[in-house]
Amino acid sequence: MTRGDAQTYKIALVGNPNCGKSTVFNQLTGLRQKTGNFPGVTVDIKSGKIRFAGGKEAILTDLPGTYSLYPTSSDEKIVAALLTHPTNANFPDGIIYIADTHHLEKHLLLLTQIMDLGIPILLALNMADTAAELGIKVNIARLSERLGVPVVFVSGRTGENIDRLQAELEKMMLGTQAIHKTAAFYTLTEAEKQLVEAVQLNLGTENPYRALLIAHHYQWLPFLQRSERETLAAIVETKHFQSLRAQVDETLDRFDRFTPFVQESVQEAPTFPNTTTDRLDALLTHRIGGPLIFFAVMLLMFQAIFDWSVYPMDWIETGFSWLNDGLKAVLPAGWFSDLLTDGILAGFSGILIFIPQIAILFLLITILEEVGYMSRVVFMFDKTMRRAGMNGRSVISLIGGGACAVPAIMSSRTIGNWQERLITIMVTPFISCSARIPVYLVLIGLAVPAIKVGGFINAQTLVFASMYALGVIAAFASGWAMKKWLRTREPSFLAIELPEYRMPDWKNVALTVWEKVAAFVWGAGKIILFVSIALWGLSRFGPGNAVETAENTAREKAQTTQLSTSETEDLIAHHRLEASYAGQMGKFIEPAIRPLGYDWKIGIALLTSFAAREVFTGTLAVLYNMGSAEPDISSRTENQAKMTMRAKMREETFSDNGKPVYTLATALSLLVFYALALQCMSTIAVVKRETGSWKWALFQFTFMSALAYVVAWLVYLVFS
């Protein structure tokens, strides 16, 4: 939207939550839409182009759903801040107001508020299709006459009357609307009048209602100067203006005014019999059945993320290794070819490999959201999550974190309160994600004996499950701690509408999934690619000609001990890595990680797996001369490879005291470290994106690393 020149007509789409705004948006813009950051806010705003028959264009912006211009969440504040700021580059020239025909009365409040701001507006009564089925009849002409705004009956789902809406829109753009009412809908009280006059005098605000809103919101409206804020504070003080009281009175007065209009124009007012929704909710929000069904749904979702993503992930992996091998065969050997294959190509595959899981998770979450189930989950788990400083919706993010923290963090956008959302983002990576599984498997297989504990549970299984439990405990405990530490000025509300269950709008589902996947690829992808290339450089090059020297040494060693070709390759890879910058760094950090029971080789693995945890096993494989990090063709050889790797790891000793490295204590300490540390550049990238600054991403990284370090150290102390 920021691209639009001054000549382009700007239209904003406004309405209450659950009014079906997004479906109307999709109908009007088709696929000509994009998501962008509104200047100064971190919430993504969708905008798109409307093309009219004559070739004219307008830019349509989908503002967050809100109930009134007296906002309670940062999301809703965007609407109030924009509509009270006419000099803002995004200030709309006209507004399409979407209202749900089923609950017309409730939806008119915000409409009348916007009317009083003097912005051209037209009312679209949405869900015409289902309203007709329920026998709701609205006298459009009467409603339009009484309210003084054009009214169109539309259906975002079926596309009914979208052409009429466009026609009305053109009239609005030309300024030839049939009705144009100038009188304010709400009459200011005597006290408000005095207040408004003072604001108008001091700030030069023309519109009285805008002046009133500025007086209500002067503390947070982002466009106000400091001097203006002080002036407004003084005015509010001297006029003894009680903002909250006045807000309630105004709201009730507006209802009193338009309620008769609704009664006059709605024929056969809707009755609300016990519907399917009530019957479903009796089960889905049942005291015992509700949570049980929820856990079953989550289990299935989890299962689906793993099961369905196996094949596409395989294709991506195979495709890339095929491409990699092909390029290596074709290109001349040299650092440039290496950069292309091991750096850039590996980076790309690191981005693309996430797509199946992200797409599936978002598909399922979007469907649950679209049908209306999500708000029931919010209702059921709000109490549980609040204890840990979060909101009911955080459950979804935490569960999603079991597959991959990246999409899980993105799904936290449904949380309105910023503090609750932030805590959710901060603690989600504690949940053990799929990338930790291979690390767990190797380390547990190495150090935990396969004995039965208490006669029935396998010790290995027990440790594996404990890692998951540790993640959950860490998430809730740190959420609880952050709640104590962060004190938000923003009040927290549950007060959420539980919409009617309905079939998902598949077009909207597809668009949402596409949009989120694309956002990940372009946003987090850039950073993943960059770090991949940097890591490649660090492990490829070393100071001076150290790497070359190391390679020659390895070659000589291989010749004297008469190793096979593949063994020679492994030995060279090992020596090169050791001499590289990454290897140097491993040696450099060894003193710091020695208390946890790690040597420099594990240090390198820690450093390389900063990019992504799954790199850990690959790095160790290289370090312990165990051939390529690529998966083997048959699982049998892979198992054998793992077995030999374990054997070699068991033989590993510390260079200074000759004691074995991989004791139970070291393995458990490493397990705990991997369970708690934030070793995933994708997560860091996405946290930066979602919180809008590096501050929280770095805080999270530092906090999780420090916690991992301390707990791993304690574990090592206890078990060694």
**Binding positions for another protein, rule: CB under 8 A:** 67-68, 70, 72, 102-103, 105-106, 109-110, 244-245, 247-248, 251-252, 255, 270, 272, 277-278, 281, 285-288, 290-291, 375, 378-384, 386, 491, 493-500
Alpha helix locations (H) across 562-599? 565-579, 581-593
Q: State the amino acid at position 320 in one-letter form.
A: F
Q: Which is nearer to another protein, 498 or 521 (CB)?
A: 498
What is d(CA 304, CA 98) in angstroms, rounded to the nearest whole number? 36
CB of 590 to another protein, least distance (A): 48
Taking a C-beta distance cutoff of 8 angstroms, is the pair 372, 390 a contact?
A: no
Q: Which is nearer to another protein, 70 or 153 (CB)?
A: 70
CB of 469 to another protein, least distance (A): 20
Q: Which is nearer to another protein, 107 or 421 (CB)?
A: 107
Q: Which two tokens stand for residue 179?
A: 């009705």
CB of 485 to another protein, least distance (A): 22
Concatenating the DSSP letter of every residue in 637-652 gives HHHHHHHHHHHHHHH-
What is d(CA 17, CA 369) in angstroms, rounded to the nearest whole number? 13
Q: Which is nearer to another protein, 266 or 684 (CB)?
A: 266
Q: Which is nearer to another protein, 299 or 647 (CB)?
A: 299
Ranges of beta strands (E only) in 277-335 are none
CB of 283 to another protein, least distance (A): 11
DSSP 8-class letter at 491: P
Q: Which is nearer to another protein, 105 or 317 (CB)?
A: 105
Phi-psi region of 61 (alpha: psi -120 to 50; beta: other; left: phi over 0): beta
Taking a C-beta distance cutoff of 8 angstroms, is the pair 649, 662 a contact?
A: yes
Taking a C-beta distance cutoff of 8 angstroms, is the pair 282, 164 a contact?
A: no
Q: Which is nearer to another protein, 285 or 321 (CB)?
A: 285
Q: Which two tokens stand for residue 340?
A: 């292309």
Taking a C-beta distance cutoff of 8 angstroms, is the pair 364, 557 a contact?
A: no
112 C-beta neighbours (distance < 10 Å), count: 23
Q: Which is nearer to another protein, 226 or 287 (CB)?
A: 287
Q: Which is nearer to another protein, 102 or 157 (CB)?
A: 102
What is d(CA 40, CA 46) in angstroms, rounded to the nearest whole number? 15
CB of 378 to another protein, least distance (A): 7
For β-strands 94-100 and 121-126, DSSP reports them as parallel
For β-strands 151-153 and 121-126, DSSP reports them as parallel
Instruction: Let me know the angle formed at the C-alpha of 197 by 191 and 198, rounded to the nearest 5 degrees.
Output: 95
Taking a C-beta distance cutoff of 8 angstroms, is the pair 84, 117 a contact?
A: yes
256 C-beta neighbours (distance < 10 Å), count: 9
